[in-house]
Amino acid sequence: MKKLLFILCIFYGIQMNMFSQSVYTIDLKKDIIIGTLSLGIGISPFFINNEPENIPGVLNKNGINSFDRAVMFSYNKPLDIVSDYGVYTLLLLPAFSIIPDIKNINTLLTYGIMYSEAFLLTLGTKDTLKSAIIRYRPYMYADGVPDGRENDYYNSFPSGSTAYAFLGATFLTTTFSQEFPESKWKLPVIIGSYTLASGIGAMRILSGSHFLTDVFVGAAIGSLYGWLIPWLHLKNDNKNIKIIPTGNGMLVSLRF
């Protein structure tokens, strides 16, 4: 543990010297639109009520597609708990991008707004899908409903824990790569964050809580918003694509 803390201190010290000014910014009009959309998607699941009338017994695997049926497991409570709660640690990963400039209120505000928008969009999208689509979890095809899961056995699609894990991993790798493009830590940060996120996804499958497709869709949702929201907040000089309004349309500029 002491060695790890020592390495982190060196890491922060190096990044402190590299961080000059954040490449991200907030724009009132744009963030009102994104924030309103985020809140709208975030609260939409409350208006969708779709659940089975009765708790079924053990289900037949023949109704599952061959891709998902190849990797199905019985319920594993320890893995379920570790993966379900361990993901909240991964949600803290993006903090690594701002620690060198943590005393700058503008940086804190910008990152706080960006991450709130990305989190709400991830939360709302996965909860809307869960509320609209009844899909029994893999353990329902082996053991039936485990104790304590009577209200959650039909919410398999998509994997919320995986969505959150990949949100944290993608948000970190996106912002870190933009803030410190020349850093020697960029590749380790990318590999490490996605390894942790993939581990969460794997445990969700091994615990019998999700199918492969649940995890893939969850990863796609978290990755999409983890990349899109920071990209929308890049300062114009840092964007590879610029959209410039003109008198009779718009001009799209792509920089390689």
What is the DSSP secondary-structure string of 183-236?
A: -TTHHHHHHHHHHHHHHHHHHHHHTTS--HHHHHHHHHHHHHHHHHHHHHTB-G
pLDDT the model gives residue 12: 42
Q: What is the mean pLDDT of the chain?
A: 85
In contact, 129 and 41? CB cutoff 8 Å: no
Backbone φ and ψ for 27, nearest 5 degrees, come out as -130, 125
pLDDT of residue 84: 84
Cβ–Cβ under 8 Å, residues 166 and 219? yes
Q: What is the pLDDT of residues 11-27, one digit of tens each?
A: 444 444 444 578 999 88
How far CA 6 is from CA of 2, 172, 221, in Å, comes to 6, 21, 35
CB atoms within 10 A of CB 203: 25
**Per residue in 217-236, pLDDT tens?**
999 999 999 999 999 999 87
Per-residue pLDDT of 61-104, as tens digits, reads 988 999 999 999 999 999 999 998 889 888 988 888 887 777 78
User: Best-predicted range by mean pLDDT among 11-20, 52-61, 151-160, 240-249?
Assistant: 151-160
Select the more confidently predicted residue: 13 or 37.
Answer: 37
pLDDT at 246 over 80: no
* Beta strand ranges found along the chain (DSSP E): 241-246, 249-254
pLDDT for res 113: 94
State residue 98's pLDDT score. 84
Average of pLDDT values for 103-127?
A: 92
Q: What is the pLDDT of residue 73?
A: 95
Q: Could you tell me which residue, 146 or 211, shows the higher pLDDT?
A: 211
Between CA 199 and CA 195 the distance in angstroms is 6
β-strand partners of 227:
none
Phi-psi region of 142 (alpha: psi -120 to 50; beta: other; left: phi over 0): alpha
